[in-house]
């Protein structure tokens, strides 16, 4: 009888123990799944933060490239501009020497005018340009504006307007830069710096957020000066960007 009761008790306890074992196993699996899900969420959040940081870095690089692009374009035309300045200087010097050698006309004496000084004129221009090359854009701007006032008949006047506009650009004074670039193109459309001035105007408009105006300036540059180096840069900017290749 006692043996029978023991058997009955064992039969009653076994299902309960089995149920307890199943619950414990389920809890372990749930805990393991919870741990795995948390680990994956942490990875996703880390990846998301990385993407945001990368996007911020890309935007900062874009702004830096736009700034450097203007500086590169200025320096890329330096050789061409220097040759033009030298040629203009010697032509102007030759003309002035011819006037000095010519016999005076028999007319009433006019009021004496201050003698021109080509050496001083060139020295002032080169000094202003040196300031710009050294990165002293504010000082260079003042020097070029003073040069424009002091030497209104100088052959360097178009270039002085260009570099003064470029100094304004480097200082972030885009509206003033556009005024000087526009004056150069209007007053000296055949000067070697006219295409560069249009490119500078496009840069200013782009930096000011006027993408439509910048594109129009680039199109004008290509139409008026198709063979210039500045036009080659404008054509690259106007070309439609290719979509990224799918991997």
Within 13 A of 14's CA, how many CA atoms are on the CB side?
A: 6
**Sign of the Cα pseudo-torsion (105, 110, 112, 116, in order):** negative
Select the more confidently predicted residue: 60 or 165. 165
Task: State pLDDT tens for residues 8-19.
Answer: 444 454 454 544
Select the more confidently predicted residue: 53 or 217. 217
Share of the chain above pLDDT 70, in %: 68
Nearest CA to 155 out of 74, 92, 198, 247 is that of: 92
Select the more confidently predicted residue: 23 or 139. 139
For the segment 217-224, the average pLDDT, to the nearest whole number, is 96
Residue 7 has a pLDDT of 47
The whole-angstrom separation of Cα 131 and Cα 82 is 16
Residue 133 has a pLDDT of 94
Position 62 confidence tier, pLDDT thresholds 50, 70, 90: confident
Residue 44 has a pLDDT of 77
How many of the other CB atoms lie within 10 Å of CB of 43?
10
The whole-angstrom separation of Cα 102 and Cα 214 is 50
**Sign of the Cα pseudo-torsion (50, 55, 59, 61, in order):** positive
Quote the mean pLDDT of the chain.
79
Residue 233 has a pLDDT of 95
Select the more confidently predicted residue: 57 or 206. 206
Residue 110 has a pLDDT of 42
What pTM value is reported for the model?
A: 0.57
Task: State pLDDT tens for residues 106-146.
Answer: 544 444 344 468 889 999 999 999 999 999 999 999 999 99
For the segment 79-93, the average pLDDT, to the nearest whole number, is 62
Residue 108 has a pLDDT of 43
pLDDT at residue 82 tops 60: yes
Task: State pLDDT tens for residues 30-47.
Answer: 888 778 777 877 777 787
For the segment 168-183, the average pLDDT, to the nearest whole number, is 97
């Amino acid at each position: 009888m006692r043996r029978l009761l023991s058997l009955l008790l064992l039969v009653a306890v076994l299902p309960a123990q089995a149920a307890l074992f199943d619950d414990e196993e389920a809890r372990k699996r749930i805990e393991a799944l919870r741990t795995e899900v948390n680990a994956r969420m942490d990875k996703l959040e880390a990846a998301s933060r990385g993407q945001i940081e990368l996007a911020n870095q890309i935007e900062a690089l874009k702004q830096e490239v736009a700034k450097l692009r203007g500086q590169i374009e200025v320096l890329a035309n330096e050789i061409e501009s220097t040759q033009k300045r030298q040629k203009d200087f010697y032509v102007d010097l030759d003309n002035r020497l011819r006037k000095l050698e010519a016999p005076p006309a028999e007319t009433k004496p006019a009021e004496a005018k201050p003698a021109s000084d080509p050496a001083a004129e060139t020295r002032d221009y080169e000094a202003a340009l040196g300031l710009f090359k050294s990165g002293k854009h504010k000082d260079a701007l003042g020097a070029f504006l003073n040069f424009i006032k002091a030497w209104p008949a100088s052959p360097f006047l178009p270039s002085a307007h260009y570099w003064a506009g470029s100094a304004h650009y480097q200082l972030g004074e885009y509206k003033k830069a556009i005024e000087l670039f526009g004056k150069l193109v209007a007053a000296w459309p055949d000067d070697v710096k006219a295409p560069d001035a249009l490119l500078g105007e496009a840069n200013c408009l782009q930096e000011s957020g006027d993408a439509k105006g910048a594109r129009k300036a680039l199109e004008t540059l290509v139409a008026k000066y198709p063979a210039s180096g500045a036009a080659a840069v404008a054509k690259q900017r106007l070309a439609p960007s290719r979509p990224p290749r799918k991997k």
